[in-house]
């Protein structure tokens, strides 16, 4: 797949087959993700991969409950109250793998670095026919000190990206983009 095709046909996938992704494939994708640029080449990412249908469903429930708890402090979330309250709503869409990308906060540019690694991951996955979706709903709970401790993530690492991976259960939806806003200045 040409890079242009990968960039323009990658879509957030929200329906997955239950087939697991081989561990070796996940590792290869994470190696590719790590070719992202990073400030001063600090490569501050730490990956945690969570797998297992029940584990992910349980985590989805915890993420939803956590968001409902903090909703008063985050008015922008109010529009999701109904869907987050729905017990059938799995925020991970039944994907077999969830990749959490934590960044070492001692690296000044860690949010940028880890976000670029996440996009590399998504494009590399897509090139192999593996779908992905960044799940922002997972960030609050998976970033808590308690959850990090459970995963043995050192305290100096902050959660940046939460990306599900899996084999798409259907054809990709068509994407659309706004016209870009750009100005050139030359002298």
Ligand X SMILES: Cc1cc2nc3c(=O)[nH]c(=O)nc-3n(C[C@H](O)[C@H](O)[C@H](O)COP(=O)(O)O)c2cc1C
Residues that bind ligand X (CB under 6 A): 11-12, 14, 133-137, 175
Which residue lies nearer to ligand X by CB, 26 or 67? 67
Which residue lies nearer to ligand X by CB, 27 or 63? 63
Q: How far is the CB of 12 from ligand X (least distance, A)?
A: 4
Q: Are 112 and 3 in contact (CB under 8 A)?
A: no
Spatial separation of the C-alpha atoms in residues 38 and 116, rounded to whole Å: 8
Q: How far is the CB of 82 from ligand X (least distance, A)?
A: 15
Which residue lies nearer to ligand X by CB, 52 or 136? 136
Tell me which residue of 14, 16, 48 sits closest to 167, measured CA to CA. Answer: 16
Q: How far is the CB of 37 from ligand X (least distance, A)?
A: 18
Alpha helix ranges (H) inside 34-89: 53-70, 81-85
Spatial separation of the C-alpha atoms in residues 113 and 13, rounded to whole Å: 23
Which residue lies nearer to ligand X by CB, 137 or 141? 137
Strands (DSSP E) along the chain, which ranges? Answer: 45-51, 97-104, 131-134, 157-166
Spatial separation of the C-alpha atoms in residues 28 and 32, rounded to whole Å: 6
Q: Are 129 and 9 in contact (CB under 8 A)?
A: no
Q: How far is the CB of 169 from ligand X (least distance, A)?
A: 15
Q: How far is the CB of 23 from ligand X (least distance, A)?
A: 25
Q: Which residue is nearest to ligand X (CB)?
A: 136
Which residue lies nearer to ligand X by CB, 154 or 172? 172
């Amino acid at each position: 797949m040409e890079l242009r095709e990968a960039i323009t046909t990658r879509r957030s996938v929200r329906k997955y087959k239950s087939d697991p992704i081989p561990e070796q494939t996940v590792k290869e994708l994470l190696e590719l993700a790590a070719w992202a640029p990073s400030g001063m080449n600090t490569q501050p990412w730490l990956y945690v991969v969570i797998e297992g249908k029940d584990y992910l469903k349980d985590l989805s429930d915890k993420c939803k409950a956590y968001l409902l708890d903090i909703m008063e402090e985050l008015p922008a979330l109010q529009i999701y109250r109904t869907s987050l309250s729905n017990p059938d709503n799995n925020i991970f869409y039944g994907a077999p793998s969830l990749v959490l990308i934590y960044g070492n906060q001692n690296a000044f540019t860690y949010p940028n670095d880890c976000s670029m690694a996440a996009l590399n991951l998504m494009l590399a996955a897509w090139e192999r026919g593996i779908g992905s979706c960044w799940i922002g709903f997972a960030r609050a709970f998976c970033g808590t000190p308690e959850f990090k401790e459970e995963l043995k993530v050192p305290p100096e690492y902050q959660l940046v990206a939460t990306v599900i991976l899996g084999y798409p259960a259907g054809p990709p939806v068509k994407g659309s983009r706004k016209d870009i806003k750009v100005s050139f200045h030359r002298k």
